[in-house]
Amino acid sequence: MTINKTQNGSTLTLSLEGRLDTVTSPELEKVISYSIEGVKELIIDLEKLDYISSAGLRVLLSAQKKMNVQGTMKVVHVNEVVSEVFDITGFCDILTIE
């Protein structure tokens, strides 16, 4: 998985490419934990994400909980495959998806 990080003031955008699974989710978790200090808006762009596993969902949920304390988080450009996983797991009700 590739993580592209862009920061504009207090807005951080993480664009994910590839597969977010058991192998790659610790990397995303590390990037988020080291990058969100002082961030008021976290945007996670999933346009090029091919697959998400339960481990990936756990990282997104953890990020959402952290951002609830210090600002907002939204998930953008969700493709059909990932959207179906969000629907089945109920994450569409937990996350702000645009």
Q: What is the pLDDT of residues 86-97, one digit of tens each?
A: 999 999 999 999
* Nearest residue to 74 (alpha-carbon basis) of 36, 47, 32, 41: 41
Q: How far, in Å, CA of 26 to CA of 80, rounded?
A: 24
Assess contact for 72 and 91: CB atoms under 8 A. Answer: no
Q: What pTM was computed for the model?
A: 0.93
Read off the pLDDT band of 72 (50, 70, 90). Answer: very high
Q: What is the pLDDT of residue 68?
A: 95
Q: What is the pLDDT of residues 39-67, one digit of tens each?
A: 999 999 999 999 999 999 999 999 999 99
According to the 3-state scheme, what is the secondary structure of 24-67?
Answer: CHHHHHHHHHHHCCCCCEEEEEEEEEEEECHHHHHHHHHHHHHH
Percentage, residues of the chain above pLDDT 70 = 100
